[in-house]
Structure 1
Amino acid sequence: MNTAITEIERKALYKVIYSRRDVRGQFLSDPVPDDVLGRLLDAAHHAPSVGFMQPWDFIVVKEPEVRQKVKSGFEIAHAEAAAMFSGKKQEAYCSLKLEGIMESPLGICVTCDRSRSGDVVIGRTANPEMDLYSSVCAVQNLWLAARAENLGVGWVSIIHHDHIRQALGIPEHIVPVAWLCVGYVSFFHKTPELQQAGWLPRMELDSLVHYETW
């Protein structure tokens, strides 16, 4: 098997990276075919993981009743978050569309089983949170694969883990890492929505790169 990346493949990868968006309000109701969904999950399953422990599980949710339970959890956390801002910042926050739980045809919950490989895991001995980071790598793999399939993904982070756990019947020792809204979209924004809304600008890369020391 030739593992060298061609120029065309390299350009395609960067196109996917730069055109990936956090989708909230552009979802279509069209179902995601099972073979496409299978490719997304397989891409996520091939993410790097500390000690090759593969701590992730994937809960695919299509039923509206279950997704409504998740939406209710978002509404609670969303109201809590709005109260943390004041003045025009609060007005701006409340005007933003921050999830597509019911608009997207399916949701995928990515979790982390921190006990999967026992107490001592290669690479997790000094930094025990590395297994959580591994599950986030699975999220990123799924997100990029979805963009390559012309699917949108929205990560709903404004929700308490305990609510996700209760809504999906997740065992106590399993950590919910991400609720992802997944589906085809009417269009992809050219730039991130929060950037367009003036919430924050994209930082200049030069200001974030350090050499040898901070």
Structure 2
Amino acid sequence: MDEHKFSDAEIAGVYRAIAERRDMRHFIDKKIAPNTLEKLLKAAHQAGSVGLMQPWRFIRISDLKLRHAIYQLVEQERQLTAKALGERQDDFMKLKVEGILECAELLIVALPDKREQHIFGRRTLPEMDIASTACAIQNIWLAARAEGLGMGWVSLFDPQQLATLLKMPQGSQPIAILCLGHVEEFYSRPMLELENWAQGHALEDFVSENYWPV
């Protein structure tokens, strides 16, 4: 037996959280306990990061007027995205793409300024700051699912407009709006599959050995 291995129940819990994580858009009116939110943020802060740069910053939106202003930015981009989709415009407009006004907690995840100072692991791949921050976001997602909470990642916004709204310094960049909250139920499959917008593909379509598949 591997002494470093978790128990069977613990292993099952990890894989269950991964399998049942969903990008949630529908929330119910119920607050998140402060200690639970703290646990989720701690989970995010424990993510791996290139060169230990810890490039994530979290802004908790508690001002209702600010929340509505963020919603308006997302709605503006939703309209522009719909137009860019051409013949799929009407179908897109039927989708629920966010839960900003309904969720219990709204978080903005951002990259800080002065990231150019961190060279370790980023000299040829500077975008690893985004990759590291995505790991932190995934940690929140999985921890939230384990806690029975839903999370939705919203990316429909203009980064500069959101940065200005939040009075962020030059060089910083918001990369995600996270909607967190209790839900009536979790989607049985990804919502975009349930809405017939897109279908996921099997793992074997994404794995090859030694070289790029031909």
Task: Give the TM-score range, shorter chain.
Answer: over 0.9
Task: Write the letter of the residue equivalent to 2:15.
Answer: Y
SS of structure 2 residue aligned to 1:182: strand
Task: Write the letter of the residue equivalent to 1:18.
Answer: A
Quick check: 1:70–1:163 contact (8 Å CA) kept in 2? Answer: no
Deviations 1:14-63 (CA, angstroms, capped at 9, x unpaired) = 11011111111x20121111100000000000001010011111111122
Q: CA shift at 1:136, angstroms?
A: 1.0
Task: Write the letter of the residue equivalent to 1:194.
Answer: L
Alignment of 1:4-15 (within 5 A): 4-15=5-16
1:92 is matched with which residue? 91
Unaligned runs of 5+ in 2: none
Q: CA shift at 1:167, angstroms?
A: 2.2
Return the alpha-carbon distance in structure 1 between the equivalents of residues 185 and 168 of structure 2: 34
Return the alpha-carbon distance in structure 1 between the equivalents of residues 8 and 119 of structure 2: 37
Q: Which runs of 4+ in 1 moved over 2 A?
A: 118-121
2:139 is matched with which residue? 141
Q: CA shift at 1:124, angstroms?
A: 1.1
2:43 is matched with which residue? 43
Q: CA shift at 1:6, angstroms?
A: 1.5
Q: CA shift at 1:114, angstroms?
A: 5.1
Return the alpha-carbon distance in structure 2 between the equivalents of residues 123 and 114 of structure 1: 18
1:81 matched to 2:88: no
Pick one of 121, 124, 148 that aligns with 1:123: 121
Unaligned runs of 5+ in 1: none
Quick check: 2:57–2:109 contact (8 Å CA) kept in 1? Answer: yes
Return the alpha-carbon distance in structure 2 between the equivalents of residues 166 and 47 of structure 1: 27
**More divergent stretch after superposition (41-50 vs 5-14):** 5-14
Return the alpha-carbon distance in structure 2 between the equivalents of residues 206 and 65 of structure 1: 47
Identity of aligned residues (%): 36
1:174 is matched with which residue? 172
Quick check: 2:53–2:118 contact (8 Å CA) kept in 1? Answer: no
Q: Under a length normalisation based on structure 1, what TM-score does the superposition of the two structures give? A: 0.93
1:53 is matched with which residue? 53
In the comparison of the two structures, how many residue pairs are matched?
Answer: 210
Task: Write the letter of the residue equivalent to 2:93.
Answer: C
1:197 is matched with which residue? 195
1:71 is matched with which residue? 71
